[in-house]
Structure 1
Amino acid sequence: MKKYLPLYEFLCASQKESIRFTFLEIENILESRLPQSAYIYREWWANGGHVQADAWLNAGYQVETVDLVTHCVVFSKCSKS
């Protein structure tokens, strides 16, 4: 998760119930480009099974929607069960 630690920290500091990012905004937070697969495959944004997902899930967020055409993703706070 080291590469995605800045995203984790950003989300941990957020008090918002949902937050919308462009892929470029995420790249700015990471100070690194997202892999090409993030631009092509919706599965890259799945809520689990990947190190990048650990970053947002451990911060208490999940991917609500992702748009591969406009390169935007919306994270929302995970509901407490």
Structure 2
Amino acid sequence: MGKYDPLRDYLRKQKADDLELSFVEMERKIGYMLPKSASLPQWWASPSEPATAPVQHKAWTDAGFDAVLIAGADRVRFRRAGST
């Protein structure tokens, strides 16, 4: 089981196309503290080469979502890929 699999599994169960989670909520789901680098937009950004995507990125993309850091809020908006 990967470190971010609980987040992936949670996102897969969601019916909404758009949802926000705080860092604390995500940490509760994964059972670990997010790294300090999670406060940087690039940690959440899509990589230019999908084959080299980091493990956290694979978690939400495998669930069908994109992620964007909400600046200054320690929150992330997950939006279902392909939704408007």
TM-score where L is the length of structure 1: 0.87
> What's the counterpart of residue 78 of structure 1?
81
Cα deviation for residue 68 of structure 1 reads 3.8
Identity among equivalent pairs (%): 31
Structure showing the higher helix proportion among its residues: 1
Q: Which runs of 5+ in 1 are unaligned?
A: none
**CA contact 1:47–1:57 (8 Å) conserved in 2:** no
Q: Which runs of 5+ in 2 are unaligned?
A: 48-52
Cα deviation for residue 69 of structure 1 reads 1.2
Cα distance in 2, alignment partners of residues 78 and 29 from structure 1: 21
Give the ranges of 4+ consecutive aligned residues of structure 1 lying more than 6 Å apart after TM superposition: none
Matches within 5 A, 1:1-81: 2-39=2-39, 41-48=40-47, 49-63=53-67, 65-79=68-82
> What CA RMSD, in Å, does the superposition of the two structures yield over aligned residues?
1.6
